[in-house]
């Protein structure tokens, strides 16, 4: 199994809503990531978990809250988002310092 599975694939949410993005991998990878990607731009790193601990937070606003319940799962909790947060959110996993496998992404629209 070399897949990273993200749900949902599409999400439309209002600025007062609370929602969560989910990511799952069963490759035994010990690093998991959240990236944000705007159209025609490179991915921007948001968070890195290493061995289930948050190791990098790239100064992401607190309306984004990551969670790593176990070594296979990664969540991104969303609350009070702004329209400019609309983007493709990509989850990835890897062994430490190895190539990352990316999920198919969640296309988020904030209205």
- Sketch the per residue contact string, 13 through 52, with other proteins: x for CB under 8 A, - otherwise: ------------------x-x-------xxxxx--x-x--
> Which of 56, 44, 42 lies closest to 96 in space, CA to CA?
56
Torsion sign across C-alpha atoms 85, 91, 95, 101: negative
Asked if 101 touches other proteins (CB under 8 A), the answer is yes
Asked if 80 touches other proteins (CB under 8 A), the answer is no
C-alpha 99/C-alpha 13 separation (Å) is: 32
**Which residues contact other proteins (rule: CB under 8 A)?**
31, 33, 41-45, 48, 50, 55-56, 90, 92, 94, 96-105
């Amino acid at each position: 199994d070399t897949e990273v599975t993200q749900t949902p694939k599409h999400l439309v949410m209002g600025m007062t809503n609370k929602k969560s993005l989910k990511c799952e991998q069963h490759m035994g990878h010990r690093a998991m990531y959240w990236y944000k990607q705007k159209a025609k731009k490179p991915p921007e790193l948001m968070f890195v978990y290493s061995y289930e601990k948050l190791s990098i937070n790239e100064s992401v606003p607190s309306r984004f809250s990551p969670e790593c319940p176990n070594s296979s799962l990664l969540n991104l909790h969303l609350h009070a988002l702004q329209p400019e947060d609309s983007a493709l959110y990509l989850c990835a996993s890897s062994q430490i310092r190895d190539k990352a496998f990316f999920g198919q992404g969640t296309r988020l629209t904030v209205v």
